[in-house]
Homo-oligomer: A and B are copies of this chain.
């Protein structure tokens, strides 16, 4: 079996809001609303990678992270597997520490109900974000 490329994303709920990022994605030529996340580094656990990416991209520190499972973003194209975590325990809002290629990551807070509306009407159409929301809905973590 092939070794998969591992990445992590975090669906964070802070009270009534979900926390997303907005960034320009060159391959699609558009600004896309997504979850904070990124690649797992050598020797890093999935949860540690998730906390690191969350901190770098949003400045957030969370308490308990709940593992929601994994997904194939594009199994017909790449060997990437994305692990999805959820937290509703925002402990601290620090500052972003972005890498050079992440210079333009905007943090947005979207109420849960508006997030679902935005998915339904296509303003949000990122696969990882939608998969994470589905997992959270199926577990009753978001109303």
Sample of 7 further A-B pairs with CB below 8 A, known A71-B126, A127-B131, A130-B131: A1-B30, A2-B27, A27-B79, A28-B75, A69-B122, A74-B78, A130-B130
Annotate A75-117 by CB proximity to B: 1 below 8 A, 0 otherwise.
1111111000000000000000000000000000000000010
Annotate A117-143 by CB proximity to B: 1 below 8 A, 0 otherwise.
001111001111011011101110000
Once the chains bind, are B28 and A125 in contact (CB under 8 Å)? no
Q: Could you say which interface size class chain A belongs to?
A: 35 or more
> Does more than half of chain A's interface fall in helix, strand or loop, or is it mixed?
mixed
Which residues in A have some Cβ–Cβ distance to B below 8 Å?
1-2, 4, 25, 27-30, 32, 34, 69-81, 116, 119-122, 125-128, 130-131, 133-135, 137-139
Residues on B with C-beta less than 8 A from A127 are 71-74, 127-128, 130-131
Number of copies: 2
Residues on B with C-beta less than 8 A from A27 are 2, 74-79
Once the chains bind, are A119 and B137 in contact (CB under 8 Å)? no
Once the chains bind, are B32 and A125 in contact (CB under 8 Å)? no
Residues on B with C-beta less than 8 A from A78 are 27, 74, 77-78
Q: Which chain B residue lies CB-closest to A71?
A: B125
Which 3 pairs from chain A and chain B are nearest by CB? A2-B29, A127-B127, A25-B75
* Docked complex Cα distance between A34 and B77 (Å): 14
Residues on B with C-beta less than 8 A from A80 are 74, 77
